[in-house]
Structure formats: C-alpha cells, structure tokens
Amino acid sequence: MGAQGTTTGRADVRERDDTAPLPAPLRDDPPRSGEWDPVGGLHAPAEAPLQLEPPPGPPVPQTRRPVPRTVWFFVVVGVLIVAMGLSAGFVIRALGDANPFKNGLVTQQTVDRSGPAVLKAVNDLGTFQAASGYYEVVIDVEHRTDHVPSFLSGSRILFVAAGNVDVSVDLASLGSGAVTVNKDRTAATITLPKPKLAPARLDLGRSYVYSQEQGLVDHLRGGSAQDMKEVYDLSTRRLDEAARQSGELTTRAETNTRTMLQGLLHSLGYSDVTVTFR
C-alpha cells in the first residue's frame, strides 16, 4: 500500500512536469484592440479620434471686400478710350484706302493760269553784301488739348528748316567825314557803320517735313495750312536768333569789307588804308 502510494505520487509529479506551459511565440504584428496579448495581457482598446460637431444653425456666409466705384469708373473710361482709339484708327485707315485719288482711279491735272509778273517799285540799295550764312534747325511744334487724348485732338510736326542769313554794310549812309586822306594822298582812313544782319530767308527747296501727326478732329478740320504758316514763321525766327547769337557773320563781314576797300584803294595808289567800324 505504501509502495503504491509512493509510486502514484511520483507519477503525478512526472505528469505535472511534462505538462508545463510552453513559451508564447513572438508576434510581428501589434495586437488589435481587445485581443489577448500573451506578453502584455489584455490589450486596451485604442481611443477614438475626437470629432467636433459644427455649431447648430445655418452656415455663416463669407463676406468679400467690395471693389471701390472709383476703380470701376477708371476701368470703364480706359476701355472706352481704347475702343474709341481703335475705331478712329480703323475709320481713318478705311477712308485712306477708299480715296480714289490715292488708288489711281482718278487722276489730277495741274493747269497754270498765272498772269505775268508786274514790276511795282525799284529800290536803290547802296549796300555791300559782305557775308552770308547757311543755317539748319529742327522745329518741333506740338498743340495739345487739356484732358483730351492726342489721337482725338492735337497735332505735332517735326520740320527741318534750312535758310540763309545775309549781312551787309550800308555804304549809302556815309557822311562827309567818313573818308579822310593825307596831303600826299598815300594814306586813307575810312569809317563805316557796323554790319547789319538781314532777315533770314527760308529755303523751301532744302526744308522739309520730317514727320507730322494729327488727331481726328484736326484731320477733319484741315488746319495743316495754318499750322505750316506757324512753322515757317517760327523757323525764320530761329534762324535769325542763331545768326545773332553766334556773331561769326558780323566778324566775317567786317573782315571782307576791310579787305575789299583796301584792295580797291591800293589800286588807286594809296599804300596805307585803314578801315574802322563804329
């Protein structure tokens, strides 16, 4: 009895040792929520993300900043100006293309019915033309209208003006004491007035219009003739100013007059000739 009890106790111990629990296998993937983890036990469920609910009521509309009326006004004005400019250019181009004289459909003939020239007066000059200067100047004249675009009203012209300015010495105004000679008649002294500049003479053969621009109103009005008269007058004034400011013409006139008189009196036997200007 005792031996059987001992044997039975040992068998229970052996069976208890043979049925020991095996180690838990390693897992590569993390345990899911609520699943038993052999290592860490029961895995706690993950917290759900916090969701915010919109406030009750209708959605609030987003307001935009309104565009000022001044901006719209200038935009409309700019669009109108551009449209008017394009329309005016198209109309002018169409009228130019439809011109029968330009296309050669209608030819023009020039008939000269001018009468003969009549001599009205003769003037005795008594002056010695001592020198002449040739000048050129660029005339830039522009007419503007306030607050109106140039393609509607206004004109501009570039004119290359060429002309001559003469300088002469008045010999007819010499008095009795203007010429003095010595007793031997070998020396003479002549006193003359200073040379004077004549008004500039515009040379239309060498002058020309470089460029000319006209607005629609000026083009329809046909004011080119009046504009050219203004350009001619301004060109003459600019040529006169250029001749007066340089002073080269008057100096050359004194030199030429002195040389002419000295050569004339030397041929008459005067060896010493003095010419002065006052």
Q: What is the pLDDT of residues 114-160, one digit of tens each?
A: 999 999 999 888 889 999 999 999 999 888 777 777 777 778 889 99
Banded model confidence at residue 250, pLDDT cuts 50, 70, 90: very high
* The two three-digit tokens of residue 16, written as one number: 């208890």
Residue 88 is assigned to a structural domain of this protein: no
Task: Note the pLDDT tens digit of each residue in 163-199.
Answer: 999 999 998 888 888 899 998 889 999 999 999 999 9
In a domain, 63, yes or no: no
Q: Is 99 inside a domain boundary?
A: no
Residue 214 CB neighbour total at 10 angstroms: 22
Report the number of distinct structural domains present in the chain. Answer: 1
Q: Is the per-residue pLDDT at 34 higher than 60?
A: no
Where is pLDDT greater, at 221 or 187?
187
Whether the pLDDT of residue 251 is over 70: the answer is yes
Residue 10's Cβ-count burial label (10 Å; 0-12, 13-18, 19+) is exposed
pTM for this prediction: 0.54
- In one letter, which amino acid is 99? N
| CB within 8 Å of 236: residues ≥ 6 apart | 163, 199, 200, 202
- Name the packing angle between helices 248-267 and 224-246 (round to 10°): 60
Are 194 and 278 within 8 A, CB to CB?
Answer: yes
CA angle 193, 198, 201 (to 5 degrees): 165
Residue 110 has pLDDT above 90, yes or no: no
Residue 199 domain-assigned? yes
Token pair, residue 69, equals 């009326």
The tokens of 250 are what? Answer: 């008057």
Q: Side-chain half-sphere of 86: how many Cα atoms within 13 Å?
A: 6
Note the pLDDT of residue 1.
42
Residue 82 forms part of a structural domain: no
Distances (CA, A) of 159 to 151, 235, 249: 20, 9, 25
Across the chain, what does the average pLDDT equal? Answer: 78
Does a structural domain hold residue 47? no
Task: Determine, yes or no, domain membership for 242.
Answer: yes
**pLDDT for res 272:** 92
pLDDT digits (tens, 9 = 90+) for 43-75: 455 555 555 566 666 665 666 677 677 877 888
- Residue 252: inside a domain: yes
pLDDT bin (cut points 50, 70, 90) of residue 6 is: very low
> Is residue 29 predicted with pLDDT exceeding 70?
no
The CA distance from 234 to 160, in Å, is: 12
Residue-range definition of the domain harbouring residue 213: 127-277
